[in-house]
Structures are given as C-alpha cells and as structure tokens.
Structure 1
Amino acid sequence: MKYRLLGRTGVWVSEISLGTMTFGGKDHPVFGRLGALGQEEADRFVGAALDAGINFVDTADMYADGESEELLGRALGKRRRDVVLGTKLMAPVGPGPNDQGLSRLHVMRALEDSLRRLGTDYIDLYHLHNWDRLTPLEETLGALDDAVRQGKVRYIACSNLAAWQVSKALGLSALHGQAHFVANQIHYSLVSRDAERDLIPMAEDAGVSLTVWKPLVDGFLTGKFQRGGVTTEPDSRRARSDSDFVPFDEHQGFEVVDVLQSVAARHEVSPARVAIAWLLARRAVTSVIVGARKMDQLQDNIAASDLVLSEQDIAELDEVSSPSVAYPNWIQEAFAPVRIPAANQT
C-alpha cells in the first residue's frame, strides 16, 4: 500500500481507503440494497483492509441510520488507533426538524451521537456531508472549531461542496483563526470528470486533499453491464437499484468501458482495477474510497494501488472520457501566457 499526505496536515493516509456504506441496513429500504453486511462480515472486511495496509476508513451518520458507524466501531475495536477515521454529518438522522443540517445545535448533537456509535472519544476527520443553504457558514465553522479545540475532532473536511463554497469556508476560517478544511470528498470517475473544471484547480491551489467516492459508479465501470441493460451480475448494487444515483452520458460511458476492457486485457487485470488506478494517477487525488459486498471485490480494488498505467493507457482513457471544457476555463486556456524556458531567460 502507498500513502499520501492529507492536505497540509503532515498526516499520511493510504491511497485506497475503505468505505462502509455497505455495512448494516438489512431492513432499510435504501441501504438494504447497497450491501446490508452484518457484524461478522464487517469484522472480516475491516480486518482484511487493515491487514492490506489501509489506514483510512470512511463512514457517515446517515449510513443505515447509524448502524454503519456502530458496526465499524465494533469492527475496529483495539485497532482504532491504527486508522484515520472519518465520518460525516448533515443529512436527516431522525424525524425532528433539527435532526439535520449544519446548525450549531445539530453539529454538537450529531458529533456526540457519532462518537457514541463508533465507540471512540475522537473523530480524526469530520466532514460536512453537503451544503446547508439555511445555516450561515460562520455558525457551522464556529461549531466545528469548538469541536477541534475540545479534542473531539482532529481535522475538519467537507463533501460535495462546490469550489466557491470550499474557498469561502477557507477564507472565513483564516479570517477568524479557526480550524479549516483539509480535505474535500468528491465524486470523480472516468464517466464523471466535472471536478476537473474547478474543484481540482481549487484543491491544488489551496492545498486541500481530494478523496473520491463511487470511483466505479455503482459497478458500471467494472464491465459487468452491457448496452441494452444486460448485465453479467444481476445481484449487483447498480442492477438492484431503482435509479442511477450518479448521472452521466451512458453512450459515452459504454465507450469508456470498451477502452477500459482493452487496457485491462493489456495488463491482465480487471477493468475495475484500471478505473481506480486511473484516478490514482490524477493530480490532486489523495485517496480513492472503495466499498464492496464481496471479499474478492475488496481485494481486487485494493490491488489497484500496485497497478501502474503506462502513458499510452492513460492517453487512451483520457481521450475516450474527455469532457467538454466549460467557460471560463476554455478562454483562460486560450489566452494562457507562454512560459519561456529558464535556460532562455536573460
């Protein structure tokens, strides 16, 4: 396993991280279709991940109504100190009007509930799970800073925020001398490269790590789905879902899969491993979150850390998945200054 720095913290995290959305929720209407792994299976998955060198684990309070956190906490047990543990808050976790959002009230409640479920007295990386249009950002950041000062949270992060929202938060944190976001958890994949427009340039400029969720787009990039809705794995997450969570151009998506399979055959590995390796070769990506329902899937995903793609592999995948360039990116690229080589400068 290889390790990368988490932002500018000096903390090293594995470039493959374990996602636990598949933990729990056997009778849940949504999470029951995503995995519904029980305690014994969670123990095996966590043990296998840590034994493979993974030291970065992700969950959220909303996963299976908190059961994911409970199963993960018990699975970690005495190995809690071996991991950088991340969880998230914002989504509804109860029927009450204040059981959601990013108000100081809910931040404090959610943190205490996550600590209890995880069986720990601190969270290494605490994420805002989404943007709250109703709560002033200053209130949320103030509550998170208090949590850091209390020692209940080591670092703060965000997920699914736009570049301008992250930048605004960083500015406010700097202005008030508060804890600041060190990472942003985003969706990024060969069929969804929107992050390249603003999120990646922002992250590079600000020193914010990017961690990636759904790198295989619910299994679409595994090559198990064919045009016309045919699949070789009818019990997969994507096949059992009522709708596709991540929107993308399916026509281009299948063209991407064709190239993925070609590159995979060249290396004698799975398309899934290639798709993850492509992400690990992208600039600004710190860690790719993998979740699985079966042990062989987890082991194959972890093995992507050892796969080095050639320039030809990357060029072919880049070309087939290339997104249109949005404004103002295209005009800035058109008028970018030409750099004079240092040897020719006088």
Structure 2
Amino acid sequence: MIEPVRIAVDAMGGDHGPEVIIPGAAHAFERHPDVRFLFFGDEKRIRPVLEASPRLAAVSRLHHTDVAVSMEDKPSQALRKGRRVSSMWLAIEAVKKGEADVAVSAGNTGALMAMSKICLHMMAHIERPAIAAFWPTLRGETVVLDVGATIGANAQHLFDLAVMGSALARIVFNLQRPTVGLLNVGVEEIKGLEEVKAASRLLRQTPLASLDYYGFVEGDDIGKGTVDVVVTEGFAGNIALKTAEGTAKQIGQYLREAMRHGWLSRLGYLLAQPAFARLKTKMDPRNLNGGVFLGLDGVVIKSHGGSDAIGTARAIEIGYAMARHELLHKIREALAVSHEEAPVLSVEPNAKACDASAPPAPMEASDR
C-alpha cells in the first residue's frame, strides 16, 4: 500500500489567506486522494472554509496559531516575531520533525527562505539555497534556477545548481538525462563572466550520468526550450523571470486592444476564440505556479502571493510530486557523485548570499 504524502500548509500566507488556500488544497486533493494535510493558522478563519469541504476536512489536521507573517515583513522582522510561533514557521517545522513531507506557503518569499534555512539547514555540499521556477517554452516547460534566492555565484555554486536542477527535471519531466545550459551573454566559450566560464569548464570536465551539459545559452533560448534546465545566479534569474511575466501581460494587453479595434476585429476574435482560449491557457501563470526551494534539507514550495485556488493547487501538486518521487534522495545522490568526480574549487569572495538581515532587492520584488 502506498503511503500518503503529508503536506504542511501555511494557511495564512499570501494576499488572500485561507479563503483561497483551503479551496486550492481541495482542488489538489481531488486529483491526489492520497494526500493528507496539516494546516497552520487562525482556526477561526480556517475552520469554516475547511468544513465547507467535508472530504478535505476528513484528511486534514488544523493547528491553531495567532501569529502570521505579513507580506510586508522583512525577513529579520519575520524571524523576530514569527520564529517557532507563526503559521509559516510551524509548517516548515513540521517537515523538520518528520510530521510532513513538504511545506507549502504563499507568504513573504524572503521570510520563507530565511525561516527555511534556519529551521531545515542546508544539504551536505550546498552552502546556499536556490529557487527553481518552471518556465513555459515552445517545447513545453524548462526549469530555470536560481530566480532570486542568492545574488552572485561562483563556479562551484553554478555547478551545484546544474546538478540540483537536473534532479528536479528528471522528476517533473520524466527524463533520464536532462540537458543543462548556463545562461550567458553569448554562446562562445570566450564570452561571459569568469565565474560562468569556470563553471562551464567544470561541467564539461566532470563525467555526470545525471545530466547532459549543452553549453552556454542566451536569453532567447529560455523561451525556445533549447535545454531542459537553465542555470544562472539569482540576480539575472529574477530579472529574467520578471521580464517574462511583464512581456506576457504586455502581449495579452496588445491582443485585447487589437480585438476591440473595429467590427472586423471583433468578428475575427469570435471566429478565432478556440485558438485564443488555447493561447490563454498556455500563458496562464497559474499553470506554472510553485517555486521549489533547492539545497535545503527538506522540501519547501513557494506559491505566488496573489495566486487563486487553481494556482495554489498547482503549487501543492508540485510539492506532492517532489515528495512522491523522492526529490531530496535524488539530489543527495547526484551531489555525492558529482562532488566525488569534480575537481576541488576555491570559493570566490564576491559571491554574496542573502540572509535574514539583508535580503536582496529582487527577492523583495518577488514577494508578491
């Protein structure tokens, strides 16, 4: 008999709280009846919403707490007021204690990362975490990391991102040997920062059965789906993510304006409605909601703060897949092999990780 997947949910996170998060969990439960939920937050708000879904309530436990991390809190503030007592911390701690297999929160990204690092600690061989996002492409989807957890990266960190990202791609895309590319300003080996060029040499020189190193890729290769995994440091990754989101909204606005321009345009829209419906589904950010925190000794999923119930369900389902297919085991196994095979590199001093007292600016932008 298959063991259920236990998911701890910060029910107070995001812009909408339990009124959206609980229905999202109900959607996910419909597709994955082997899930069991632990909800953390204000019982007075959660209980009525939960009881509206009797089947979900039957497989859920509710833990009351008066403290919730707000979307405006800085990580240091969140730690001072929410450590050990907030709904966010308690959801993460459930993973630490072995009461849950994965934690999901739509709350403040910087606070969630800071609490996750302190509560769960980092995996062996990993010094800094990363956030992996799923990107729509012409071929399907691509894993992109890091999209905002760490600013700056040395060659070893980029190498580790490639290993962790490929493990994630093997689970999500069901691939034996995902292709991995390093984001750069050109595909020629002489171009780019020294850290990126050093990471490229390291990936070429190390025999890795878990991935197929493609080489350098440029920004337009992300949308093309040239590789299964795109690796970059958090500053560039976060800018790329926000640029893509903004471009999608811009195109959508252009289309709406064009369809309202004259009766012929309106007629054309009516005739092309099925095609526009497919386009809307493809560009719908809810279908790609859920960032995976990698490098931690536990699975944490970040849902978008403004997501609705469908988007929340997507984030929960990503957490389900990570737990069901043993993401941590696969990453540990791949890292152990890669660090045995790879030459030892010194850590460059210019790589700067985010911490609880000084979160990077791009992380603040991604909170909502």
TM over 0.5, yes or no?
A: no
TM-score of the pair, normalised by structure 2:
0.29
TM-score of the pair, normalised by structure 1:
0.31
Structure with more contact order per residue of length (Cα contacts < 8 Å, sep ≥ 6): 2
The structure in which a higher percent of residues are helix is 2
